[in-house]
Structure 1
Amino acid sequence: MPIPDFVAALRTHVGHDPLWLSGVSAIVLDDDGRVLLTRRADNGKWAVVSGILEPGEEPAAAAVREVAEETGVHAEILRLTSVDVTEPITYPNGDVAQYLDVSFVMRATGGSARVGDDENLEVAWFAPDELPTLLAATSALLLGKALADRREAWFRYP
C-alpha cells in the first residue's frame, strides 16, 4: 500500500509507533447486486476498497476517489453504513496504525473494473452469496453491515 506523503512525514517523527488515522471503506454494488472487491498485494486477500483520508478531505469524497483510483470504477454514494474503530494493524515494514473507518454503500455508475494501482493484484465483481474464500475478516464484517439493508448506520454504543 503506498504511504500517503503526510503519513510518511509523520513517520519521520514517530517511527513505527502507532498512528491514529481516518479511513474509508467502500462497498460498491453494480446493477446486478454484485460487490466490487480487490485482491490486496500486501496479503493476497480479497477486500472491499479502502483507503486513508487526505488531510481535510471529506469521507464521502475520499471513498469516491479511492474506488476510482484503485479499480477504475466510477461510483456514487448511496448511504453511510457504519463507523468503526479497527484493531491495531502492524504492516510488513513494522508500522502500526489504527483507523477510524467510515464505510459507505455505493452504486457503480461507469468505468471498467481493472487494477488501478500497485496496492492490488486483481479486481472483480462477486455475487454476495459467492464471495471468495480468501476474504479479509474486516471486509466480511463490513459487507455484513452494508448488505443488511438497514437505513441507519451501524456504530458501537458506549
Structure 2
Amino acid sequence: MAIPEYVLALRAKIGHDPLPLPGVIAVVLDDRDRVLLVRRSDTCDWALTTGCLEPGEQPGDGAIREVQEETGVGVTVERLLSAEALELSVAPNGDQVYWLAIVLLCRAVTGDAHVGDDESIDVGWFERSAVPPLPPHQQRCLTLALP
C-alpha cells in the first residue's frame, strides 16, 4: 500500500497541509556488502527502501515489513544508524510531509530481490562503487552504513 489508511484519513481532514510522520529508511546489505536499492515508480529515481510506520509499529518491524513488501527480501535489523528530522518534502500529489527518518542497517537473510509492489519499477543489488545518485539524506545514510 502506497499511503497508509490512517494517513489518508488525516489527509481527508487537513488536505495537503504539512504533516509530521515517522518513517524508516532501511540500508540493506547482502553478504558481499552490496546495497539493495529500489527504483521508485513515482520519480523513477533509485533509492533505499523507505516507508511510513503504522501507528504503534516498532521501527525495526516497520523496516522488515517495508523491505519484504517492496523487494521480496527478508532482513534482520543489525543496528540504528540515525534518527533525523528531514526538511519539508512535497509529494507529487502535493502532500507536504515533515519526515522523522529512523535509519536502520539491515542484513539480507532470505529471498531473491524483485519488485514486490506498485511503489517500485525495479530492484537491484549494487556494489558501493556503482550506487547511482541518491537523495542527499539517503547518501548520508549509506555513508553511515559503509564509511
Match of 2:67 in 1: 67
C-alpha deviation, 1:8, in angstroms: 0.2
For the residue of structure 1 that corresponds to 2:113, the secondary structure is: coil
Match of 2:14 in 1: 14
1:42-100 superposed Cα distances (whole Å, 9 cap, x missing partner): 11111100000000000000000000000000000111101111111111111100111
Aligned partners of 2:2 and 2:64: how far apart in 1?
18
Q: How is 1:20-39 mapped onto 2 (pairs within 5 angstroms)?
A: 20-39=20-39
Unaligned stretches of 5+ residues in structure 1 = 149-158
Match of 1:52 in 2: 52
The residue identity in structure 2 corresponding to 1:106 is C
Match of 2:124 in 1: 124
TM norm structure 1: 0.90
For the residue of structure 1 that corresponds to 2:20, the secondary structure is: strand
TM norm structure 2: 0.96
Match of 1:139 in 2: 138
Match of 1:93 in 2: 93
Aligned partners of 1:116 and 1:136: how far apart in 2?
22
For the residue of structure 2 that corresponds to 1:115, the secondary structure is: coil
Runs of 4+ in 1 over 6 A off after TM superposition: none
For the residue of structure 2 that corresponds to 1:77, the secondary structure is: strand
C-alpha deviation, 1:138, in angstroms: 2.5
For the residue of structure 2 that corresponds to 1:43, the secondary structure is: coil
C-alpha deviation, 1:145, in angstroms: 1.6
**Alignment coverage as a number of residue pairs:** 147
